[in-house]
């Protein structure tokens, strides 16, 4: 009698496991098929107050702040990062920005890596300010070093990178301690730096203690990249 009861219990457990696995697979399949946000680049901003950093008037203010190599060319509002050298940084040197809105459009080659640095210093772009990552990682899971991340600190809600060769829009807003980033029309980051009172990621200094004003700097990571419509509106 005991053996028969034990066999019955084992059979019930086996049926439960099979049913549970089946339900789990159905839910997993449904999750994989759930619609995801579709990246739709935002257009060049219009209206008063915007400064076009690549205009004929402002293009000459860009400087390679790493060394004396020629790492980019600007023609008719299009910046071509040549990608022929190691990691380089180039700053718009005419003025610094504190609170602002920034719009930039970027096109990458395969496996390219770049970044938009802000509130930073030409003397120390990597640690004196922050970076929104620009990367060819279309289709990959979001992570703290992927497209739209606050590099090495905060993972974006979604990876909104478009396929290689297509233009991507980045919209960054800084107001006091609040940082918001949108990639291809979708908000991916919303951070209050005042809450980051301990060292995190690559930063030895808590982000709450970083300067609230600095330069806009772009990155050459040895890859060919194009920028257009790099525009800032001071707030």
Give dist(CA 226, CA 103) in Å, integer: 14
27 and 110 in one domain?
no
pLDDT tens digits, residue range 80-101? Answer: 999 988 899 999 999 999 999 9
77 and 3 in one domain?
no
Parent domain of 189: 51-234
122 and 77 in one domain?
yes
Task: Specify the number of domains making up the chain.
Answer: 2
Q: What is the pTM of this model?
A: 0.86
Q: Tokens 């020629």 belong to which residue? A: 70
pLDDT tens digits, residue range 109-153? Answer: 999 999 999 999 999 999 999 999 999 999 999 999 999 999 999
Cβ neighbours, 10 Å, residue 66: 18
Q: Supply the pLDDT for residue 84.
A: 87
178 and 79 in one domain?
yes
Please check whether residue 41 lies inside any domain of the structure.
no
């Amino acid at each position: 009698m005991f053996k028969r009861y034990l066999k019955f219990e084992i059979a019930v457990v086996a049926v439960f496991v099979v049913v549970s696995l089946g339900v789990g697979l159905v839910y997993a399949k449904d999750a994989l098929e759930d619609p995801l946000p579709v990246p739709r680049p935002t257009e060049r901003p219009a209206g008063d107050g915007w400064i076009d950093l690549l205009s004929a008037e402002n293009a000459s203010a860009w400087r390679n702040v790493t060394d004396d190599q020629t790492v980019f060319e600007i023609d008719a509002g299009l910046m071509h990062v040549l990608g022929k050298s190691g990691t380089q940084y180039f700053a718009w040197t005419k003025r610094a920005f504190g609170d602002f809105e920034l719009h930039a459009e970027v096109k990458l080659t395969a496996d390219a890596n770049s970044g938009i640095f802000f509130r930073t210093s030409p003397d120390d772009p990597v640690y004196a300010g922050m970076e929104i990552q620009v990367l060819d990682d279309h289709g990959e899971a979001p992570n703290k070093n992927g497209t739209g991340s606050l590099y090495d600190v905060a993972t974006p809600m979604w990876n909104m990178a478009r396929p290689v060769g297509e233009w991507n829009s980045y919209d960054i807003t800084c107001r006091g301690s609040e940082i918001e980033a949108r990639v291809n029309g979708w908000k991916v980051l919303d951070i209050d730096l005042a809450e980051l009172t301990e060292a995190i990621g690559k930063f030895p200094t808590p982000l709450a203690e970083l300067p609230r004003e600095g330069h806009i700097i772009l990155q050459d990571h040895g890859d060919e990249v194009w920028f257009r419509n790099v525009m800032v509106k001071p707030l």
